[in-house]
Structure 1
């Protein structure tokens, strides 16, 4: 069997694009990412949108809450966002606006849910677009993962690691509990910050058939370290560097 490099997941806002924009999605796809990650919230009328935070500020200084407004109330508004050391303006984008890009690329989208209320409208869109093989959920702690399993068991999901477990329990106990929770909620793998991952966790998760997805790795030496560890996916903002590393490591192991 040939060497298998981890899936490359483009974090929203990769390569210094603005988070939660179609430009960010297109950039990740163009550079060769296998997966594009985007945060998802839902409006008062149930429209999934690309957003990490609930509260946004318009260019006129008006504060607005996604969860408390209808999409049509802010679809044409310009919002201020921090981009590096600059202030930029964007419009809030619907999840549905992104799906045709993913469909056409043949790649996959990682939908990082920020609220429970997004589960059903997101699942409905995934089914409407026939994208069950091109989309999965993340942002799911144990309770949200169990809720997603009850509401839409056909939609694939990762379990987001509870970092408090690793702060309060012995490492092995936290590792075992994480994997048990993932299996109990029918998650296909675990989503975890790279700093928590060890060879022991990799071996244990692999023995249970649970791939390990790590976030967010932007330095090349760390990319190489976790690729060698055998993680299933590396999420990064530095997509170009990870793509180059994939080419380099594959060439060395042919």
Structure 2
């Protein structure tokens, strides 16, 4: 069984999330993907931030020039640095409006094989499939798992979305990934990306389960666990 690839969570190794310091640290580590959170400004620039507020002002209601004093990083700056390092980009979508901005950038720069979109619910998945079918995307299954549906209905819905939209896989928090869910995904040929695992105990529990990727803040620790498990 192949061990999972590592995705560096934004803010990994105790750096400031979505900062240039964070990106520079992540690309020095032994990871496949660097995750960044993406949203949009008032003047339609894709920037990095988990939340819509920075320094007491709303990003979506501010122009980029107004935000520069907070050292906000643009999506293009981040992707350029990550790609040049040889790593891939996991773009965690925070706003519907940012999808068009980053999709255009990905297509114009022929980055479909180097960028994957996560944070996608059903609405975002449908939009991407209709407008940018070449772009790789993950279905964030966490909201569906919380809906008032039977377990069978949730799994059937996930399988249908995967087949209809040619997804790269599902993105799921570790506490929702039961052995039963994982086995169903495996049986259907659906790759599982799990987040966010930061303790050694959880790392050892998931590293041999057959997931495609583990997202973590503690990259160095996860690499150590992977190396030890590889020689067992």
1:85 corresponds to: none
Pick the structure with greater CA Rg. 1
> What pairs with 1:158-169 in structure 2 (closer than 5 Å)?
158-166=138-146, 168-169=148-149
Q: Does 1:124 align with 2:111?
A: no
> 2 CA distance for matches of 1:28 and 1:248?
22
> 1 CA distance for matches of 2:203 and 2:148?
28
1:4 corresponds to: 2
TM-score for both structures, normalised by structure 1 = 0.86
Q: Does 1:205 align with 2:185?
A: yes
Structure 1 unmatched runs, 5+ = 58-62, 79-90
1:217 corresponds to: 197
Distance change in 2, residues 1:101/1:50 (3 Å): same
> What pairs with 1:1-254 in structure 2 (closer than 5 Å)?
3-57=1-55, 63-75=56-68, 77-78=69-70, 91-166=71-146, 168-252=148-232
What secondary structure sits across from 2:136 in the alignment?
coil
On the 8 A contact 2:83/2:89 being kept in 1, the answer is: no
Return the offset for 1:189: 0.4
Distance change in 2, residues 1:55/1:166 (3 Å): closer
TM-score for both structures, normalised by structure 2 = 0.93
- Report the more deviating stretch, 172-181 or 220-229: 172-181
On the 8 A contact 2:142/2:176 being kept in 1, the answer is: no
Return the offset for 1:213: 0.4
Moved over 6 A (4+): none
Return the offset for 1:207: 2.2
> 1 CA distance for matches of 2:42 and 2:58?
9
> 2 CA distance for matches of 1:198 and 1:172?
14
What secondary structure sits across from 2:222 in the alignment?
helix
Cα RMSD between the aligned structures?
A: 1.6
> 1 CA distance for matches of 2:145 and 2:228?
36
What secondary structure sits across from 2:208 in the alignment?
helix
Q: How many residues align?
A: 232
Per-residue CA distance 1:91-124 (angstroms, 9 max, x = gap): 1110111122222222211100111111111012
Per-residue CA distance 1:147-190 (angstroms, 9 max, x = gap): 12112111100000143534533334322322322333332100
On the 8 A contact 1:10/1:33 being kept in 2, the answer is: yes
